[in-house]
Structure 1
């Protein structure tokens, strides 16, 4: 884990491919980080969907309690994830997102 980063109690990290956590990132309690679906899904034509993809958390990211970050998501530096969010898509640097699925709520200049 990167310098100054913290993961809160009762959080779950399930990594099959890769997880990157930037300096100063704070992950609250009861957060789930999952870079895998834990199963494989096949379409009717026989094509298999990717069941795992890396997660990347930038520097100084804040992840609120009870949030879930799913496979293949990249979260930019300084982004804020509101409590209880389900993040299924990339989050830009400094962006504030929330909800299920997480949607843009605004922009953060900084957080403490």
Structure 2
């Protein structure tokens, strides 16, 4: 686990089965809320053409890039559909007192 936790948002900022963008120190992240009310975090840009994933579509545990419809598992970062072939980096997440934190190295 990380020793450097950064507040990304309030839990109410992310609807169930949705994603939001979070920028910190020049880096973009995507924060997801699963249908099971769990939170996840990945890099915020598609590994194919650096498009913001927060503009994409969330279905179950998949984020679909809005440009070329490449798909990733937001839980594992695994590339799931062409044209993406490079996995997303994922980050640990914790929820405390109504806020979502991501662990950065």
TM-score (norm 2): 0.30
Structure number having the greater strand percentage: 2
TM-score (norm 1): 0.29
Structure number with the bigger relative contact order (C-alpha 8 A, sep ≥ 6) is 2
Structure number having the greater helix percentage: 2
